């Protein structure tokens, strides 16, 4: 059903899409490769950000006349609607493309139907090539579109024996400078960073993007059982970036005076269970604020609450080659009393970052990637690749 050239082109399209994960605003991350009649690569494109050309349009512009009679290989079904840009299905038809291969069907009712439109125009259309890999490269947006909530990553740094601090509470620094820089790249790819009030009191984090990493600082989200538990001089209240303080919807849960005066800070009231913010209600409320991805950097209790509720989509751990033997663990009680009740996860990636090990895992029986993903790096340059790579 698919040629080797189409398979190779989809691998490249997935790579292009993944390079923009978290950097396209509310839009999907999409990659496209155009093959000519002889199945040679003649154009590549990726969607850079909302309002700019979609991947198919960018790839067609590079291919020019060589696209006529050729094949467009794209990670997401070409859109079929006019928004800030025109429909990609029409652009492909107008370019004279003879075949379109896509990985994932568009779940957005407003934009879906591109495959049917192209088929009705006489274009050969085939879907389902490397669906799992393309879905992973576009996982933030697909979660938004299908579950109406943000994608949730849980990040932690620990010793080999799972300790995030020593017995005396000291934790700086368990992991290396290289790991911390890599973690800030991870921050830059998410819309929001979430911590609990306990982390604010214990560590007073600023939650910005530093270590030479480019990118806008994510929204800071602090989950608190009561706003009066936040220190007056906490750095998350410095007004440098949007901050949301989440409190449970219980009688008497009101914003403390310090928050009323804090710049660029808002209080979000969320349904609670036993006085604690309910995880699914929290994610729904954050999604309503336009937050499409959340990086959880909170302490053991915050992580445990989200994990126990099944609200964590990916785990990213930075493991230092050190042992403490005592001190707080990375996660608190998740209700597993026996080995049989353990939450089982599957590794997607293991990579050395300086002297430390970065591991990525997903819950349950998610499909394994075709190949191990490359280590997280800075975003790909916005300039087009050199023309030489488009010819056989």
The residue to which tokens 């929204």 are assigned? 219
Q: 386 or 205, which is more confident?
A: 205
Q: What is the pLDDT of residues 88-101, one digit of tens each?
A: 999 999 999 999 99
Picking from 9, 139, 167, the residue whose alpha carbon sits closest to that of residue 73 is 9
Tens digit of each residue's pLDDT (9 = 90 or more) over 61-73: 999 999 999 999 9
Give 283's contacts (C-beta < 8 A, 6+ positions apart): 149, 150, 152, 294, 311
Determine the 3-state secondary structure of 76 from DSSP. Answer: strand
20: left (phi over 0), alpha (psi -120 to 50) or beta: alpha
Comparing 131-135, 196-200, 240-244, 262-266, the range with the smallest average pLDDT is 262-266
CATH T-level assignment (fold) for domain 4-143: Cytidine Deaminase; domain 2 (3.40.140)
- Residue 378 confidence (pLDDT): 42
What local confidence, expressed as pLDDT, does residue 172 receive? 83
Least confident of 149-153, 168-172, 266-270: 168-172
pLDDT in tens, 193-228: 999 988 888 888 888 888 878 778 899 999 987 555
Instruction: Find the range with the poorest average confidence among 163-172, 210-219, 224-233.
Output: 224-233
Question: Which H or E element spans position 136?
Answer: helix 131-137
Catalytic status, residue 56? yes
Q: Provide the CATH number for the domain formed by 149-363 in this structure.
A: 3.40.430.10
Task: Report the alpha-carbon distance of residue 322 to residue 127 in Å, rounded.
Answer: 47
Length of the chain counted residue by residue: 392
Q: Please answer whether residues 192 and 218 qualify as being in contact, where contact means their C-beta atoms are separated by less than 8 angstroms.
A: yes
Read off the pLDDT of residues 297-340 as tens digits, 9 standing for 90 and up. Answer: 978 999 999 999 999 999 999 999 999 999 999 999 898 889 99
Alpha carbons 293 and 78: distance in angstroms, whole number: 23
Edge-to-edge strand ranges of the sheet holding 345-353 = 265-270, 243-248, 219-223, 192-196, 293-296, 151-158, 314-319, 356-363, 345-353
For the chain, domain boundaries: 4-143, 149-363
pLDDT score, position 324:
92
Share of the chain above pLDDT 90, in %: 65
Choice among 15, 44, 56, 77 that is catalytic:
56
């Amino acid at each position: 059903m698919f040629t080797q050239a189409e398979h190779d082109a989809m691998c490249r399209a997935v790579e292009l899409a993944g390079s923009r994960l978290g950097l396209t605003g509310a839009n999907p991350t999409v990659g496209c490769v155009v093959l000519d009649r002889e199945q040679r690569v003649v154009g590549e494109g990726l969607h850079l950000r909302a309002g700019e050309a979609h991947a198919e349009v960018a790839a067609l512009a590079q291919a020019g006349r060589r696209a006529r009679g050729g094949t467009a290989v794209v990670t997401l079904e070409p859109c079929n609607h006019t928004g800030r840009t025109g429909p990609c299905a029409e652009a492909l038809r107008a370019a004279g493309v003879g075949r379109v291969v896509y990985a994932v069907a568009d779940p957005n009712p407003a934009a879906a139907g591109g495959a049917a439109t192209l088929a009705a125009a006489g274009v050969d259309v085939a879907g389902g090539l490397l669906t799992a890999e393309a879905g992973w490269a576009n996982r933030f947006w697909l979660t938004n579109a299908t579950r109406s909530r943000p994608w949730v990553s849980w990040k932690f740094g620990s010793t080999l024996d799972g300790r995030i601090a020593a017995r005396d509470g000291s934790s700086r620094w368990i992991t290396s400078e290289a790991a911390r820089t890599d973690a800030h790249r991870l921050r830059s790819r998410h819309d929001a960073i979430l911590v609990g009030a306990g982390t604010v009191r214990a560590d007073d984090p600023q939650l910005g993007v530093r270590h030479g990493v480019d990118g806008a600082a994510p929204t800071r989200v602090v989950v608190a059982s009561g706003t009066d538990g936040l220190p007056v001089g906490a750095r998350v209240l410095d007004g440098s970036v949007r901050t949301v303080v989440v409190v449970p919807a219980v009688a008497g849960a009101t914003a403390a005076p310090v928050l009323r005066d804090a710049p660029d800070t808002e209080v979000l009231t969320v349904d609670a269970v036993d006085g604690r913010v309910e995880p699914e209600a929290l994610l729904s409320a954050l999604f309503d604020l336009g937050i499409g991805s959340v990086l959880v950097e909170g302490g053991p209790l915050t992580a445990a609450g989200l994990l126990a509720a099944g609200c964590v989509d990916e785990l990213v751990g930075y493991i230092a080659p050190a042992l403490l033997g005592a001190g707080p663990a990375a996660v608190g009680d998740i209700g597993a009393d026996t080995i049989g009740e353990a939450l089982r996860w599957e590794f997607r990636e293991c990579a050395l970052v300086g002297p430390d090990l970065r591991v990525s895992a997903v819950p349950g029986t998610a499909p394994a990637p075709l190949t191990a993903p490359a280590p997280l790096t800075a975003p790909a340059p916005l300039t087009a690749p050199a023309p030489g790579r488009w010819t056989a």
